[in-house]
Structure formats: structure tokens, C-alpha cells
Structure 1
Amino acid sequence: MTVLRTVERFLRRHDMPRTKFGRLAARDPRLVDDMRNGREPRKAMRERIEHFMNRYEGERTHADAR
């Protein structure tokens, strides 16, 4: 699965605006728009994005368990 597809699924699952995702994941509110227009993030950025999504979902799961 591509990074963009993974991000798109994350956005839908968490009802998160694309600009908020970009700011939180990479301090770049245009990140998702740029990827939709063909930007391919480098390995370090892909790892940063994946780390953000994993951490966010982990925190949400932990908060839901309370």
C-alpha cells in the first residue's frame, strides 16, 4: 500500500482535515495536497508519517480504554 493511500485511509478513519494531518505529522500543512499531486516523500518523511499515525492511533486506543 502506498503512503498516500495509507494517509487517505487514516484521514477518513479519524475524520481529520488534511492540513491538520500535515501540520501534526510533518509541520507541513500542504503535505497531503502535495502527495495527491505526485510528491513522493523520502524514506525519512515516510517513517515520520508512519510514526505519527501509529502514535496517534495508540493514544486514541489508550484514551478509549479509560
Structure 2
Amino acid sequence: MLLPMIERFLRQHDMRPTRFGRDCARDPRLVFDLRQGREPGARLTRRVEHFMNTYRRSHGQ
């Protein structure tokens, strides 16, 4: 369920997948790997959700 949330976030904020991965997890391939079937662990999931929530708050959405 994490990937659909990320895809929606990318569209809403017009953000490139590489930038998202780099800013969120220091991994520019993160989104591409998730699209290819990578299964995120609980720690990465929490990190991604925290990044998206913080980004939304700081950008007024």
C-alpha cells in the first residue's frame, strides 16, 4: 500500500521519483525499486510516511 501513496504524493507535488527517494531515504532508486516489487520494511515505511507528512505540513497541504 506504500507505493500507491507515494505515486499520489508525487503527482500532487509534481516531484520526480529520484528527488523523492533522495530526500526521503537517501536512495534515488527507491521509487523505481518499489515499482519493480521491492518490499519495504516497517522502518522504511515509517520513514517515508514521516517524510510525506512533514513535507505536506511545511508546504501548506
Runs of 4 or more consecutive aligned structure 1 residues displaced over 2 Å after TM superposition: none
Deviation per residue, 1:4-34 (Å, 9 max, x gap): 0000000000000000000000000000000
User: C-alpha distance in 1, partners of 2:30/2:39?
Assistant: 10
What pairs up with 1:45-56 in 2 under 5 angstroms? 45-56=44-55
| Rg larger in structure | 1
Gapped regions of structure 1 (runs ≥ 5):
none
Identity of aligned residues (%): 54
What pairs up with 1:1-66 in 2 under 5 angstroms? 2-61=1-60
TM-score (normalised: structure 2)? 0.98
User: C-alpha distance in 2, partners of 1:5/1:40?
Assistant: 13
Two-structure CA RMSD over aligned residues (Å) = 1.0
